[in-house]
Amino acid sequence: MTENIELTHQQKRAFQPQKLSAPRDFTIPSVIKNSNSNMPLVLEIGAGKGKHALSFAAEHPDKHLIAIERTRNKFEAFTKQFEQRLPDNLTPIHADAIAWTVHALPPNCLTSIYLLYPNPEQHNLNQQWLNMPFFEFLLSRLQIGGTVILATNIDTYMDNAVEQASTVWALPNKRYKIAIESQRTHFEVKYLARRETCWELVMTKPQGYKTRFDDWCANNV
Ligand SMILES: C[S@@+](CC[C@H](N)C(=O)[O-])C[C@H]1O[C@@H](n2cnc3c(N)ncnc32)[C@H](O)[C@@H]1O
């Protein structure tokens, strides 16, 4: 079983973390530096205006969420909300999540990763998270038993993600239809109000899972 897990995704072109510079004004948040913290660490990529991040932090005081958004005006809207409540278990980051993850996170440190409504250009398959070589690096930062939660309103994105999760990444996964009353993110609210079907895929990193980045650390981590 372990051998198959290694072979399938290791036939893919490898991501090259050493080629990525650190984001501008990069510093590693204290929650990562502080190895004494026993709080489970959760990552959200593409947090938008932070609706999910702020509710997650309020609902899970025992977990620390790092929520990354690269678009300036969305991040500013996020920080405005953040500053009104200042939850100490939430760290908003304004950066590209790929470079940031490479430079900030050690292997095996996350218990969950949220990718909510990534919405790339519809026809650009290379922009879908599970099609990217970076996805292997992201999985190396996830603990065994940890989950990646992907949501989308695009049927073809979800169909492809299910296929990739099973055949390339060998991740046990479950697909769900999101309840019409769910309101986790601004995009979820918008799509469900239009009566579009929204999907969620929950992927789990199984025992024995190996990636080519399990021992890879940026110099500054
Ligand atoms: C369609 S929006 C969804 C925002 C939010 N998750 C929601 O559902 O309301 C996708 C967001 O992902 C962000 N994003 C895409 N790629 C990113 C990356 N590599 N790093 C950080 N943010 C990214 C975009 O800037 C955009 O705000």
pLDDT (tens digit, 9 = 90+) per residue, 45-94? 999 999 999 999 999 999 999 999 999 999 999 999 999 999 999 999 99
User: What atom of ligand 1 comes closest to residue 47's alpha carbon?
Assistant: 6
Query: Given this structure, which CATH class describes domain 2-12+37-204?
Result: alpha beta
The token pair that represents 164 in the structure block: 């990739």
Q: Which of 185, 203, 221, 207 lies closest to 81, judged by CA?
A: 185
Ligand 1 centroid from CA 202, angstroms: 19
Q: Look at residue 123 in the predicted model and tell me its pLDDT.
A: 77
Contact 115, 46 (CB under 8 A): yes
Ligand 1 centroid from CA 69, angstroms: 6
The CB of 74 under 6 Å from ligand 1? The reply is: yes
Ligand 1 centroid from CA 100, angstroms: 14
The CB of 118 under 6 Å from ligand 1? The reply is: yes
Buried b (16+ CB within 10 A) or exposed e, 73-83: ebbebbeeebe
Q: Look at residue 35 in the predicted model and tell me its pLDDT.
A: 63
Q: pLDDT under 70 in the chain at which residues?
A: 1-7, 35-37, 221
| Residue of 44, 69, 121 best suited for mutating to test ligand 1, as the one with most atoms within 8 Å of CB | 69
Q: Look at residue 1 in the predicted model and tell me its pLDDT.
A: 46
Q: Look at residue 9 in the predicted model and tell me its pLDDT.
A: 80
The CB of 200 under 6 Å from ligand 1? The reply is: no
Q: Look at residue 119 in the predicted model and tell me its pLDDT.
A: 85
User: What atom of ligand 1 comes closest to residue 96's alpha carbon?
Assistant: 20
Contact 210, 144 (CB under 8 A): no
The CB of 60 under 6 Å from ligand 1? The reply is: no
Q: Look at residue 38 in the predicted model and tell me its pLDDT.
A: 81
* Residue 100 region by backbone torsions, left for phi larger than 0, else alpha for psi between -120 and 50, else beta: alpha
The CB of 23 under 6 Å from ligand 1? The reply is: no
The CB of 117 under 6 Å from ligand 1? The reply is: yes
The CB of 68 under 6 Å from ligand 1? The reply is: yes
